[in-house]
C-alpha cells in the first residue's frame, strides 16, 4: 500500500502570545499543496524496518517511525512491517513535509492493519508527533489556532491560480525563528482577511516570521520581491521558512532566473 503525503503553505501566520507550556498561540490558514513524498508499507518482520530515498533523513528517528511507535504502545499486537519513504518535500522549509509524513504514516498503519481509529483519535495521536500534524489528518483548507492543532475547515477558492514554491535550500531553525518574534494580539484575524478577494491580501495577510528571516537571510526576502515583480497576485514565506510561494493567475507565465541550487516547484490549486 502506498500513499503520497503532501505539503502545505501558510496563508498568513500571526504569533499572538506565548503560553505557559512554552508553546505559542497562533492564527493562520493552512492550505494543502500537491507537492508530495511517497510512503509505502508492506508486511514483514517482527518490528518496523524503515528505509528512505531521495532527500536524506534520519532513518532511526523520524515522524514515520514515531507514528509506528505511538501505535505499537497502545496496540501491542501491531505486526512488524517494512516502510519506505521517498523524500521529495524539502526539509526545514516551512512546508510541513515531516508532519505530513507522520500523519500519513498514522493513517496508513490504521488502514493497513485495520486498527479502527477514528479521525479524532488519529488527530490526538498526530499531535504527539508535532503541532502541524493534525492538519494533515484533515488535509483540507483550515483556519488553525492554539499551537496549530485547533482546526476549522474554511472555504479558500484558488481555482484559476497556480502556486509557485521557491526553496533556496536554507534551513531555518524554528526555535530561532520564534525567539525573534514579539507576539501581538492586536492584529486582524486571518479569517477576516482571506474572506476578501485575493487581490487585497498583499497589504494585509502577514507572516510574522518574515521580518527576522529576511533580515538574517536577505536572499529569502529577495525571492518574495521577485515573485511580485513577475506578477504574483500574492506572495509570502510559508511557516518559519525558508520556502517562499507566489500565487499566479494560470494565464500568467512568470520567468524566473534563480540560482541553480534553488528549487522551483509548481502546483495547480
Is 192 designated active site? Answer: no
- pLDDT score of 269: 61
In this structure, are 101 and 45 located in the same domain? yes
Q: How far is CA 191 from the centre of its chain?
A: 19
Say which of 8, 66, 87, 224 is annotated catalytic. 8
pLDDT in tens, 230-255: 999 999 999 999 999 999 999 998 99
In angstroms, rounded to a whole number, what is the distance separating the alpha carbons of residues 201 and 207?
Answer: 12
Domain span at residue 35 reads: 2-153
Residues 74 and 138 in one domain: yes
Specify whether the CB–CB gap between 188 and 260 falls below 8 A.
no
| Same structural domain, 233 and 129 | no
Please tell me which residue in 27, 37, 101, 132 is annotated as part of the active site: 132
Q: What is the mean pLDDT of the chain?
A: 94
Low-confidence residues of the chain: pLDDT under 70: 269
21 catalytically annotated = no
- 63: cell is 515522524
CATH number at residue 82: 3.30.230.10
Distance, CA of 83 to CA of 42 (rounded, Å): 7
Output DSSP code: residue 258: -
The gap from C-alpha 26 to its chain's centroid, in whole angstroms, comes to 15
**pLDDT tens, 66-100?**
999 999 999 999 999 999 999 999 998 999 999 99
Q: Are residues 145 and 90 in the same domain?
A: yes
pLDDT recorded at residue 92: 87
Structural domain tally of the chain? 2
Amino acid at each position: 500500500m502506498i500513499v503520497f503525503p503532501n505539503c502545505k503553505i501558510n496563508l498568513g501566520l500571526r504569533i499572538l502570545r506565548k503560553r505557559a507550556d512554552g508553546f505559542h498561540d497562533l492564527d493562520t490558514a493552512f492550505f494543502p499543496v500537491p507537492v508530495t513524498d511517497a510512503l509505502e508499507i508492506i508486511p514483514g518482520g517482527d518490528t518496523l524496518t524503515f528505509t528512505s530515498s531521495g532527500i536524506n533523513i534520519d532513518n532511526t528517528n523520524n515522524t514515520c517511525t514515531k507514528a509506528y511507535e505511538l501505535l505499537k504502545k497502545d496496540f501491542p499486537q501491531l505486526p512488524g512491517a517494512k516502510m519506505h519513504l521517498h523524500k521529495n518535500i524539502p526539509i526545514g522549509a516551512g512546508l510541513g513535509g515531516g508532519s505530513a509524513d507522520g500523519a500519513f504514516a498514522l493513517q496508513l498503519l490504521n488502514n493497513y492493519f485495520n486498527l479502527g481509529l477514528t479521525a479524532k483519535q488519529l488527530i490526538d495521536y498526530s499531535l504527539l508527533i508535532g503541532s502541524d500534524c493534525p492538519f494533515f489528518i484533515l488535509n483540507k483548507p483550515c483556519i488553525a489556532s492554539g499551537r496549530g492543532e485547533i482546526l476549522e475547515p474554511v472555504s479558500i477558492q484558488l481555482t484559476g491560480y497556480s502556486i509557485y514554491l521557491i526553496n533556496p535550500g536554507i534551513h531555518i531553525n524554528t526555535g530561532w525563528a520564534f525567539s525573534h518574534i514579539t507576539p501581538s494580539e492586536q492584529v486582524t484575524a486571518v479569517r477576516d482577511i482571506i474572506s476578501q478577494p485575493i487581490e487585497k491580501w498583499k497589504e494585509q495577510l502577514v507572516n510574522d516570521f518574515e521580518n527576522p528571516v529576511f533580515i538574517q537571510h536577505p536572499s529569502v526576502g529577495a525571492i518574495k520581491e521577485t515573485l511580485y515583480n513577475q506578477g504574483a497576485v500574492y506572495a509570502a514565506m510559508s511557516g518559519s521558512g525558508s520556502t517562499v510561494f507566489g500565487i499566479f493567475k494560470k494565464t500568467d507565465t512568470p520567468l524566473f532566473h534563480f540560482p541553480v541550487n534553488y528549487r522551483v516547484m509548481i502546483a495547480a490549486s
